[in-house]
Amino acid sequence: MSELLDAARDLLANFRLGSALDILIVSASVYWVLLLIRGTTAMTVLRGVVVVLGGAFILSRLLDLRVVNWLLRNSVTGLVIALAVVFQPEIRRALERLGRTGLRPIAASEERVRAIETVVRAAARMAQQQRGALIVFERETGLREVIDTGVPLDAALSGELLASVFATNTPLHDGAVIIRLDRVVAAGCTLPFSEVALAAEFGMRHRAALGITERTDAVAVVVSEERGELAIASSGRMVSGLDEGRLREQLYRLFAIEPVEAERAERLLLDRRGE
C-alpha cells in the first residue's frame, strides 16, 4: 500500500500542464478511433485483440510467465504494424475525412436534392417491376478505383438513364452506377464484397453495397430483383424493407438535408420543369 502511495506522490509531483495536454490528446484520439470503427467489423477484431492481450497480460502477471512477459514487452512495434494492416480501410477513411474537414457545404445543394429525388423515384419504379439495381452516391471519399472498373458515362442523371442501364439482360445490368452530385460518372462498376455474414434473402448486390460502404463514406441504394424491395447501406450498415418515402427520408438524413431545405430545392426544381 505504501508503494502505491509513493508512486502516486511521485506522479503528482511530476504532473505538468504538458502531461494534462498529453493525456487529453491521447484520450481524444482513442475516442475518435472508437467512434470511427463503431458498428463495423473492425470493432469485432479490436475486441478480440483486447481480450487476447488482456488475458495474456493478466496471466503473465499472476503466474509469473517470463516468456510471455518478454513477448508482450517486445511485441509493441509488431502490434502497431499489425493493427495498421488490419485497420487499413478505417485509417484511410479517417485521414480522408480529416483532410476534407470544413469543405462540406452548409446548405443542401440543389444538385444533391435533384439526384436524391431522381434516384428515389427510379428505384421505386424498378422495385415495382422487380428489376435489380445498385446505385452508389459518391460523397467525400473519392471512388476513382471503383469508377475505373466500369464504363465511363459522365452523363446527366435521369430516371430514363437509370432504367436503361438496369434493363434486364443489358451489359451493365449487374454492375453498380456511381453518382457524383447530379451526374452519372460510370456504370457497370465492380464493388468490393463485404465479409459480413448476411441473411439468406440478401444477394450479391447487398454484399457489394455493404462492401463499398465499409471502405468509404459512400451511400448505396439497392433494389432487390427477387423481392422487389428497397434497401440502403451506409457506414457498413444496411436498412432494408424500405418504401419510397422511407428511402427518401434515409437519404436526406444521411446527407444532412433538412426538410425545409429539401422542400425549397424541390420547389425550385418543379418551377424549372414548368418553364
Residues 186 and 94 in one domain: no
Residues 30 and 7 in one domain: yes
Residue with cell 471519399: 141
- Contact criterion met (CB below 8 Å) for 219 and 238: no
Q: Which domain holds residue 195?
A: 110-274
Residues 84 and 151 in one domain: no
Distance between start and end Cα atoms, the chain: 83
C-alpha cell read off for 262: 429539401
Q: What is the pTM of this model?
A: 0.62
Domain total in the chain: 2
Residues 20 and 144 in one domain: no
- Across the chain, mean pLDDT equals 79
Residues 77 and 114 in one domain: no
Q: Which of 76, 99, 122 is the last residue of a domain?
A: 99
Does 265 reside within a domain?
yes
Model confidence over 96-131: pLDDT tens digits? 655 544 444 433 467 888 899 999 999 999 999 989
Residue 218: C-alpha distances to residues 135, 212, 232, 254 (Å)? 10, 7, 11, 10
CATH of residue 123's domain is: 3.40.1700.10
Between 8 and 113, residue with greater pLDDT: 113
Residues 205 and 136 in one domain: yes
Per-residue confidence band for 43, with pLDDT thresholds at 50, 70 and 90:
low
Does 105 reside within a domain?
no
Q: Which of 99, 128, 155 is the last residue of a domain?
A: 99
Residues 171 and 59 in one domain: no
Model confidence over 56-102: pLDDT tens digits? 778 777 887 777 777 777 776 777 777 777 667 666 666 665 554 44
